[in-house]
């Protein structure tokens, strides 16, 4: 099974800060990765697919990069509504696996 190691597990940042979340795959997964945002009591929402493609309707402050084993989600300028937990998901091989999640808190 492919393990997805996500870091950090939580972070606290101020409005306007640049935030970076990383997922590392235990083996190469090409660009077969998506990023999700989940707010309390809500279903996850896809932000990024194919590692770097922005989902329609998602603000351009969100971006994804990486290929192979290292992937990054960047929020260019953190907004109050970005308080949430973020997950990566690899779909390169079964079983699909999620990262452990990163909880983003607003300072």
Partner 1 sequence: QVQLVESGGGLVKPGGSLRLSCAASGFTFSDYYMNWIRQAPGKGLEWVSYIGSTNIYTHYADSVKGRFTISRDNANNSLYLQMNNLRAEDTALYYCAGGWGGTPAWWGQGTLVTVSS
- 3-class SS letters over 24-88: EECCCCCCCEEEEEECCCCCCEEEEECCCEECCCCCCCEEEEEECCEEEEEECCCCHHHCEEEEE
Q: Figure out which of the listed residues 17, 65, 91, 106 binds partner 1, where binding follows CB under 8 A.
A: 91
From residue 37 to residue 76, the character string flagging contacts with partner 1 as x (rule: CB under 8 A) and all else as - is -x----xxxx--xx--x-x---------------------
Q: Which positions lie near partner 1, rule CB under 8 A?
A: 1, 32-34, 36, 38, 43-46, 49-50, 53, 55, 87, 89, 91, 94-101
């Amino acid at each position: 099974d492919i393990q997805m190691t996500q870091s950090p597990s939580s972070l606290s940042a101020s409005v306007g800060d640049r935030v970076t979340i990383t997922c590392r795959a235990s083996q190469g997964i090409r660009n077969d990765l998506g990023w999700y945002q989940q707010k309390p009591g809500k279903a996850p929402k896809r932000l990024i697919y194919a590692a770097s493609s922005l989902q329609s309707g998602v603000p351009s402050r969100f971006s994804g990069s990486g290929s192979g084993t290292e992937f990054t989600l960047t929020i260019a300028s953190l907004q109050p509504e970005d308080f949430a937990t973020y997950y990566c998901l690899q779909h390169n091989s079964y079983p699909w696996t999620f990262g452990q999640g990163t909880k983003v808190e607003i300072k």
